[in-house]
């Protein structure tokens, strides 16, 4: 990829219920992970490897609180897997690694790769801490490479710097009651994803664009931030996004935009792609960073009913994880 380098906890029980298979289907398995050896597996990857392949019944993998330094891969044939942290909150169970684009390329630098459909994660952190090492600031290092249909994230934290979360074109995903942070283009890609009641934080003091959407022209829906909160380290520096591809689609809807937002022009160009030609909109946002001007296109009221979380996620199968 050639690009310029530039919450509140929810009930674990409710989260698991959201991922549950239909009542008629018993869970395929419950596997347990603990780094101290007190569970079936010491690593998350070992538990994933042991899960059944191409399953329609859910496998729940519980993970004891702690830090798990490993690259985690959920391949396409490992379906209906939920990773559940057992700590008191998502900060207690951390899945982390420190690869970077410098040595692996952007797409291969992730701490976690998810290709298996119907994936779920709750009450844990997915992190790439490469940037926390001195001299590494500003480098691309992905926390999660998401390439899975019907993925659900509840009460999770995603931590990185540039390119924290890659939402690939095969993806339909839903995230709720969570937290995502980064510096530049830290939510990016051509997939479809809805963020609801999630805090999105720009951590760089000079600000930067949150999104870099590469939504294909033929795909109606890209990234939706619905009733989210946008925060940052400094005022009047954060941008809502820029188009990685010309037809990128992003909507911030009914969200709270704090004073971190660069209010005069919250969208910017990228690699010859004009933000004005992309499908970038706001709708009924509030907060110190909200407002309207010629650089802040608003979704018309007449179209609002066609840009809801349900419409973004429904696809051809009527999926509704909310």
Q: Which residues are catalytic?
A: 163, 185
Among residues 231, 221, 212, 104, which one has the least CA distance to residue 166? 212
Q: How many CA atoms lie within 13 A of 320 on its CB side?
A: 4
Name the token pair of 177. Answer: 């009651």
One DSSP character per residue, 93-115 reads: EEEEE---HHHH-GGG--SEEE-
Helical residues (DSSP H) of the chain, grouped into ranges: 12-19, 44-50, 101-104, 309-314
Tally of CB atoms within 10 A around 24: 6
Name the token pair of 284. Answer: 């009924």
**Spatial CB neighbours of 166, under 8 Å, sequence gap ≥ 6:** 106, 107, 110, 142, 144, 145, 146, 188, 189
Residues 274, 280 contacting (CB under 8 angstroms): no
Helix (H, G, I), strand (E, B) or coil at 4: coil
């Amino acid at each position: 990829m050639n690009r310029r380098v530039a919450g509140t906890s929810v009930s674990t029980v409710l989260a698991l219920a959201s991922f549950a298979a239909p009542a008629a289907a018993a869970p395929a398995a419950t596997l347990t992970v603990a780094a101290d050896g007190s569970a079936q597996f010491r690593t998350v990857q070992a538990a994933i490897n042991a899960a059944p392949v191409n399953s329609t019944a859910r496998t729940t993998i519980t993970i004891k609180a702690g830090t798990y330094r490993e690259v985690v891969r959920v391949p396409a044939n490992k379906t209906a897997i939920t990773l559940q942290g057992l700590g008191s909150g998502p900060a207690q169970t951390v899945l982390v690694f420190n690869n970077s684009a410098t040595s692996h390329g952007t797409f291969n630098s992730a701490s976690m790769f998810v290709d298996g459909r119907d994936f779920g994660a709750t009450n844990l952190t997915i992190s790439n801490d490469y940037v926390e090492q001195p001299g590494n600031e500003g480098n691309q290092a992905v926390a999660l490479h998401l390439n899975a249909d019907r993925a659900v994230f509840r009460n999770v934290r995603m931590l990185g710097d540039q390119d924290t979360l890659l939402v690939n074109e095969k993806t339909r995903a839903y995230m709720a009651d969570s937290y995502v942070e980064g510096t530049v283009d830290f939510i990016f890609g051509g997939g479809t994803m809805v963020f609801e009641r999630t805090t999105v934080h720009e951590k760089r003091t000079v600000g930067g664009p949150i999104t870099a959407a590469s939504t294909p022209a033929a795909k109606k829906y890209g990234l939706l931030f619905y009733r989210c909160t946008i925060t940052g380290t400094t005022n009047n520096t954060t941008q809502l996004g820029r188009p990685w591809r010309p037809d990128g689609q992003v909507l911030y809807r009914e969200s709270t935009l704090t004073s971190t937002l660069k209010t005069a022009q919250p969208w910017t160009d990228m690699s010859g792609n004009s933000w004005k030609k992309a499908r970038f909109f706001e709708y009924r946002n509030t907060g110190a960073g909200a407002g309207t001007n010629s650089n802040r296109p608003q979704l018309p009221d007449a179209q609002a009913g066609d840009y809801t979380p349900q419409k973004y996620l429904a696809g051809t199968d009527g999926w509704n994880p909310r």
